[in-house]
Homo-oligomer: A and B are copies of this chain.
Amino acid sequence: MTQTAEDIRMMAAALREARMAFEAGEVPIGAVVALGGRIIGRGHNMTEALHDVTAHAEMQAITAATQTLGAKYLRDCTLYVTVEPCLMCAGAIGWSQLGRVVWGADDPRRGYSSLVSHERPALHPQTRTERGVLGDECLTLLRSFFSARR
């Protein structure tokens, strides 16, 4: 693992987004897109509020970042997300050509890494990935949401 102080700072910002989702009764997942130490896009899961299954944290943050840059591609950016991206979000990460993706908690059931074929990558070949940054905090928040619903 090559996580840095900036990785932890940015994941903490993604966790703040996730807590906003939690307080709104949404599955608590948050994301930020960073470029040169600055956050250029943020998002949290809003599928319930928007009645929209595509309104995942990553989709919101990627769309926000492209609006900030006025450009479609995010090659020099890093996406931080509190939980491993699903297949849809992995596809969006691929299209946006994000330079690096960092997630907190793994998602063995819905995470893209267990769903895609090993022969052909879901992400852009240049995209580096990192897992486990503030992973315990990210997982604890997710679990506390689901245990409160049972």
Contact = CB atoms under 8 A, between A and B. Distances in A.
A67 B51 contact: yes
Q: Looking at chain A, what size class is its interface with the partner chain? A: 20 to 34
Contacts of A33: none
In the complex, the count of this chain's copies comes to 2
Interface stretch (A1-9, A15-23, A111-119, A131-139): A111-119
Most buried by B among A72, A92, A96: A92
Contacts of A120: 114-115
A40 interface: no
10 contacts: A47-B95, A51-B72, A53-B95, A54-B59, A86-B95, A87-B91, A87-B94, A87-B122, A115-B116, A115-B117
Given A51-B70, A54-B92, A87-B90, 5 more contacts: A48-B72, A53-B95, A54-B63, A88-B88, A115-B116
